[in-house]
Amino acid sequence: MKKYVYDKIYSDKNSLRYIRENSNWYKLLNRNANNVDVMIEEMKERYGLRFKDKVEKAKTSLDLINAFMTVTKDN
């Protein structure tokens, strides 16, 4: 594996965990180092680290708080 790929993976704990859980990426990255960005995007999608996922999580939290406030207001 090329040094810049190694450094990019080992600099982020989520990337390191993902590649350890999905060992097929070792082979793919050894064959083509340009796939590191594809692996990172797949990792972000799997772990919910994309901006879209964060917004959805915040929306869900706000909906939960709103529902809780509605229930407590009625009592």
Total domains in the fold of the chain: 1
Residue 36 · residue 8 · CB < 8 Å: yes
Q: Up-side HSE of residue 42: CA atoms within 13 Å toward CB?
A: 12
Q: What is the pLDDT of residues 4-14, one digit of tens each?
A: 999 999 999 99
Range of the domain at 55: 3-74
Residue 2 · residue 26 · CB < 8 Å: no
Q: What is the pLDDT of residues 10-37, one digit of tens each?
A: 999 999 999 999 999 999 999 999 999 9
Supply the DSSP string of the chain, one letter for each residue: --HHHHHHHHTSHHHHHHHHH-THHHHHHHH-GGGHHHHHHHHHHHHT-SHHHHHHHHHHHHHHHHHHHHHHHH-
Question: What's the predicted TM-score (pTM) here?
Answer: 0.77
Distance (Å, rounded) from C-alpha 56 to C-alpha 74? 27
